[in-house]
Structures are given as C-alpha cells and as structure tokens.
Structure 1
Amino acid sequence: MRTIYDFSVKDRKGKDVSLKEYANEVLLIVNTATKCGFTPQYEELEKLYEKYHSQGFNVLDFPCNQFGQQAPGTDESIHEFCKANFGTEFPRFKKVKVNGDDAEPLFNFLKEQKGFAGWNMEHPIAHILDDMLTKTDANYKEKPDIKWNFTKFLINKKGQVVARFEPTEKMDVIEKQIVELLK
C-alpha cells in the first residue's frame, strides 16, 4: 500500500526531501497562501506545532498560488513573511500546484486518498466559496480537487492519509484528531 513516504518534495531552496524523513510522526500537510482570508490560520497552525511538536507532530507547509493568485512572491519572500508575521517554525516547502496536469504528485496522492470533505457552513467564508465555486462548476463538490488555500490533510504515524479538512473547519476539531493520533 502506498503512503506519503513514497514521495519526495522540494524544500524552499529546491533541495529534494524524502517524506520518509517524517516517518513515525503525525503530520498536517497544508497548501497555504500569504494573501488570503485564511492566512491568519498560520498563527493557529504554529500554535498546534508548538504544542505538539515534542510529541511527534509536524506541519508541512506548501505555498500555492493557484487560488486567486494569493501566494505571490518567491519561496524565500513567502518564508520571510510567515516568520515575520506569524513566527512560524514548521517546515515550509517550495511553492507547488495542487490541481491540474502539473500538480505536485504528493497532492494528487492526497486527493486520491481523501476527496472534498465539505464546508463547515458555520464559517463566514463558506457561503462565499460555495457560491463562487458553484458558478464555475455546479458539481464541484463531487470532485476531489482542492478547492481553496489552507486545505489540510492529516497523516498518521504510518504515512497514511486519515482525514481531510477544508479551510473552513475549526482548528479545535483538527486538534482533537491530532491528539488521538499521537496517543
């Protein structure tokens, strides 16, 4: 059975990194953007990282400019922005595409494992995203594509994808599942 450990990605300086380096850790893999309504989630992700990193938890950050061109700039400028504005310490990788013919193979695998999870309609941005995406594709919910920035995939210690969270999901819901996997 394939796991995320079958993949290598590029760090923000372009060096190959095998995801085997994260074996036996609980991971949250996130496609991010620096100019998005969800960008403040960097702060919440950093809090999770700080709280659970010593117990074997990591956040893997993949900037992506595919949604509203909201991750402009170089890999280094994105990194500096995140450090300066949110104090992030978790690993950040090279900017990737998460959908389409030239999508990062890791993200194709993640989407194959867990399709669209649905919006938390209590979130104020959920209705905006739903309306916008419905106008471009009435059947968008049936497709596994990543819909927006800050989609998160939860990975267990064996490298298996166990959950997908859309950007509208509350961080405490995600945290509960992280805690369960760390036990």
Structure 2
Amino acid sequence: MDGTALYEAVAAIFIAQMNGVVLDGGQIVTVSLTATLASVGAASIPSAGLVTMLLILTAVGLPTEDISLLVAVDWLLDRMRTSVNVVGDSFGAGIVYHLSKSELDTIDSQHRVHEDIEMTKTQSIYDDMKNHRESNSNQCVYAAHNSVIVDECKVTLAANGKSADGSVEEEPWKREK
C-alpha cells in the first residue's frame, strides 16, 4: 500500500511541523518504518489510514488530537492514495511477469506437449473404435501404436493406449507417411 504509507508519513511530519516539533533523523526513520508497516496491516476500506495514524503519532510522541485536521481532507486524499496503490500494484505485477516470463513460457510449452499427447491418444482410441465397429470386429479396441511429432520430437504411444509405455525420440528419425 504505497499511497497509504506515503500519506501517513507525510501527515505525521505535517502534524509535527504544525506543532513546532523538530523531528530528528531517528524519529523520521521511525515514522517511515511505522507508516510502512501500518499501511501493510491496514484494512482495504475507505479512511483506514486515519486509524493507523494514531499508531504512528503515538510512536513518535506527537499529539493525537490533531488528527481532526486530517479528517477534513481525508475524503479527497483517500482517492489519491487509492490511485497510487493501484499504480504501484500494477507495476509490481508487470515486473514479476517480466522476470518470470521465460519460466511461464516453459510451463506453457510443457503443458501443450502433454495436451498433444493426450489428444493423440484420445483420437487413436476413437479411430480404433470406429474401425472395429465398421468391421464388426471383437478385437481389443486399444491395440494401436501411435506416433505424433511434437516440437521436433517423435512421441510414440505403445499398444493399449498407455502413455506410460510411450517413448520420445529426438531427431534424426524417419518421418512416417
């Protein structure tokens, strides 16, 4: 919650300056860390930042009575905080996608190979059933030997349609016609 953390830190420093309190470096770091942690734990409801402001002001020793000054403008600032939060979350999602794109592509290609093998297996069983029905044969429906070319590999499914009995050959191999 980037917007909420920024708002709470700036609001605490504003209240300190309004009361003539000079914050040293340690207090500013405390305000920043407390605001960041409070914004992560804050509920995603309108004006939730006002509740966590009490925590931040108390942590630095500032008067909590001055929160009433923030209530007047909180409605407008809440909309701005939400916009900053949405933009931050969007950038985060985009960065994670960019960093993991190659892994996602690998998973997609593995999934496609598995789907192709299952589709070939299903089509072979269907063709066998159709052929046996047309010839009125009582032979085993699954007695077929299938091959499919997937990503420059020849995938062979053994008899009875069991994928566990399959094999994968990389080139060079002879293309069956």
Instruction: Report the TM-score range of the alignment, normalised by the length of the smaller protein.
Output: under 0.3
- TM-score calculated relative to the size of structure 2: 0.21
Larger radius of gyration: 2
State TM-score, norm by structure 1. Answer: 0.20
Higher strand residue share: 1
Q: Which has the higher contact order (CA 8 A, sep 6+)?
A: 1
Higher helix share: 2
